[in-house]
Amino acid sequence: MSIFKSKFLVVGGTGSFGNQVVRHLAERGASEIRVLSRDEKKQDDMRRVYSQHNLKFFLGDVRDPSTIDAAIAGVDYIFHAAALKQVPSCEFFPIEAAKTNVFGTHNVLKSAIRHDVKRVVVLSTDKAVYPINAMGISKALMEKVMVAEARRLVDVGNTTTTLLGTRYGNVVASRGSVIPLFVQQIKRGAPITITEPTMTRYLMSLDDAVGLVFHACTHGDTGDIFVQKSPAATIHTVALALMEILKTEVPIEIIGRRHGEKAHETLVSSEEMAVAVDEVDYYKIPQDFRSSNYSAADKLDVDFESAVQPYDSSNTTRLSVEETAELLVNIQEVKDLL
């Protein structure tokens, strides 16, 4: 039986990813889809859009284990997308980022294990690799929590629950991304505000993000982290592409980097690339199952002395203005904005 006929819980399911994955699961005939989030307004909006009888909403917060238990009981698969993800906000309130992104994730994983959930996929970000901001640090620690729990399950012989991770970079037109802002500025005839024009960002659609999570859920072993290979463009190129699409020219204003902003998005570190499995469209970073009792017998057969480049938005396929425009106009969320 296809896993898509099962019961799913989307934690943090009222965001951009949540809406998209709910739509995909509904189209694939999921027997039940549950959404856990703390935003009752967004839940009501989704309830009006998705009127399927098999869609259920749970009001709660990942910081509160009791609300998680109520939503998880009886589900087969969990996609964990709840997070504080705005970089400047997390810079000013790092403890809040840790409460949601680290401890909230730990609560979800513990509850999933208690309820014998088959598979849990936690959603991470490029900012977790070589993190320089609080959001990235909290997401990096979230990944470590997932990997440590996966290792513990193997150590105790628990084969019921599989824990997995995904990382993705900039998701085009998602909440908080620059493209909706740029489109709004162009339509008003206002200058496009760019923090740093040479910055590069991956260009990944919400459908790509959903596909990555589905791939991890159906192909991963416990503790694995998956990334999708994606093209990238500079922020300046994205701005020019949108002006080309809208057939309008406006000035570009350079406003300087924001708190915690990175020049490039890194999806796989150099150290991870040394052990990563190339799956054509994806990289899989496998779990390291060695114990903490280091010995020569446990030595990894990897040449870490060799120069291995990280996989980031500066060395992936770089799109021109024309290629970026062609990619953007074929993404439904961008079409909706335009």
Q: What's the half-sphere exposure (Cβ side, CA atoms, 13 Å) at 88?
A: 6
Q: How far is CA 206 from CA 22, 23, 113, 139, 334, in A?
A: 12, 11, 28, 20, 11
Distance CA 274, CA 163 (A): 22
Catalytic-role residue among 7, 85, 127, 284: 127
Q: Which two tokens stand for residue 7?
A: 């019961």
Largest CA distance in the chain: 65
Number of H helices, E strands in the chain: 13, 15
Residue 6 · residue 76 · CB < 8 Å: yes
Q: How far is CA 46 from CA 146, 160, 172, 228, 307, in A?
A: 29, 32, 21, 28, 48
Distance CA 99, CA 83 (A): 10
Residues contacting residue 87 through CB under 8 Å, at least 6 positions apart: 127, 133, 134, 135, 136, 258, 259, 260, 261
- H helices of 54-205, where? 65-72, 87-92, 94-97, 105-114, 134-155, 178-188
Other beta carbons within 10 angstroms of residue 303's beta carbon come to: 8
Q: 115 φ, ψ to 5°?
A: -100, 15
- Can 139 be counted among the known catalytic residues? no
Active site residues: 127
